[in-house]
Copies of this chain bind each other. A is one copy, B any other.
Amino acid sequence: MENDATSVSSEGEGYRKIIAAAEKLFADHGFDAVSMHAIATDAGISKANIYHYFPNKDALYLAVLQSAAASLRALLQAAVDKSGTASEALHHFAVNHLQHLLARPRLVRLFLREMLEKGEPRARDLADAGLADLFASLVQILQLGQERGELRKDFDPALVTTMLLGANVIFFQSLDLLRQYPTVTFVDRPEEYDRAMVEVLLRGIRNRSEP
């Protein structure tokens, strides 16, 4: 045996092709809508070969989630930069974060899908683990800004963190939808969206000093 779906280490050619195909299909259509045959075909191998690497469909799915979680986590964590003022850090993060979401839509959809699943926690913890760090980092940035006197002290950092992440996720999730609203001008210009979004947010939480 080569891999029991709990290790996340380096693997051969076939293994990678399977993961890649599975990631694509699972993200686009969901677990139940994707057959092992479809994955095999997309990967250019035989269905039976998948079972050489993974004991069953669930294990494959889990492996995909794990691999996705790892790369997403690294990607997003890289957007955190605690240097400079809280305002700068927030803006910098927001733009980078959204950029990463838009660059890896499949990975993101994979986890958004997972969040909607009821009953089976499947691999909820995976998504959580990655997000927890991110969340904590942002909260920290805000707290620092509060201690420094740059930001007001009467707001909950976790709340604003939720708002900022939420604003980005909703933008990502509703792109197609927003595109149809005539009053919406910021689609196709995510940096512009984030600039304005952070501006509103900052005006709401910054201590009154500069105009």
Contacts and interface: CB of A to CB of B under 8 A. Distances in A.
Given A139-B183, A169-B166, A155 B200 contact: yes
Interface string A15-55: 00000000000001111110000000000000000000000
A28 B117 CA distance: 7
Nearest to A139: B183
Interface of A: 28-33, 109, 112-113, 115-119, 124, 127-128, 131-132, 135-136, 139, 155-160, 162-163, 165-167, 169-171, 173-174, 176-178, 180-181, 183-186, 193, 196-197, 199-205
A127 to B, nearest CB: 7
Contacts of A113: 116
A156 B119 CA distance: 40
A103 B111 CA distance: 24
